[in-house]
């Protein structure tokens, strides 16, 4: 097998960005972001919330910046963001 396997299987990964916005106000949430950087199609990131702004980022890369819920949702849709449901 010479294929890169990078799609998580068996995890609930919703695209309910309103719920993610709400959760991100309370805790950091692990996210999966589609990206074409360096040939990698899926990157792992996390939500970071500060003073009403919610970002989805990894060290050095910010995929989503949401100064309000509407912008956050729009940015999540653009990068086809998915997130892992916290237990």
pLDDT confidence band for 2 (50 / 70 / 90)? low
Instruction: Give the Cα separation of 78 and 4 in Å (integer).
Output: 23
Across the chain, mean pLDDT equals 87
Q: Are the CB atoms for 84 and 42 separated by under 8 Å?
A: no
Q: What's the pLDDT at 64?
A: 94
Q: Averaged over 69-84, what is the pLDDT?
A: 93
Confidence of residue 28 (pLDDT cuts 50, 70, 90): very high
């Amino acid at each position: 097998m010479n294929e890169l396997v990078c799609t998580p299987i068996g995890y609930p990964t919703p695209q309910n960005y309103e719920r993610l916005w709400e959760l991100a106000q309370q805790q950091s949430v692990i996210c999966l972001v589609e990206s074409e950087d360096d040939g990698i199609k899926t990157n792992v990131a996390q939500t970071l919330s500060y003073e009403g702004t919610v970002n989805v980022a990894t060290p050095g890369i910010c995929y989503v910046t949401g100064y309000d819920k509407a912008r956050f949702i729009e940015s999540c849709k653009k990068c086809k963001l998915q997130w892992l449901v916290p237990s």
